[in-house]
Amino acid sequence: MSDMTFDKMINQMTPAIYESLKQGVSLRKWPDGRRLTPEQTELCLEAVMRYEVENNVPEENRVGYLERRTCGAGATGAGVSPEMAGLGRDATRD
C-alpha cells in the first residue's frame, strides 16, 4: 500500500496536473469525458485550492475568484444613474 498522503500529493503536484484538475472541476469531467462524482469533485477542488495556496498562485488566477467591482464614486454608487446601476424604470409609476 502506498504511503502517499494528501499533503505529499499536493507537494508533488505539477502545474500540468493542477491545470488538469482545475479543468476537471470546472467541467465536472475527467479529460477522457467521464463525469466526476460529487466526492471526486470535492476532493479535486480541495487539491486545487491547496495547490494554489502552497504555490502562491495570484488571487486573481485562483479558482472561484470574483473581481471586485465598484460603480460611480467608489463602492457607494454615488452619482450613478439608475439605468447605469442596472435598475429599470419604476414599474409602479406610469
DSSP the chain: -----HHHHHHH--HHHHHHHHHHHHHTB-TTSPBPPHHHHHHHHHHHHHHHHHTT--GGGSTT-------SBGGGTBT--TTTTT----TT--
Q: What is the pLDDT of residue 35?
A: 96
Q: What is the pLDDT of residue 15?
A: 94
- What is the reported pTM? 0.65
Q: What is the pLDDT of residue 1?
A: 42
Q: pLDDT digit of tens for each residue in the chain (94 aa)? A: 456 798 898 999 999 999 999 999 999 999 899 999 999 999 999 999 999 999 988 888 888 778 877 665 555 556 666 666 665 555 555 5
Q: What is the pLDDT of residue 69?
A: 72
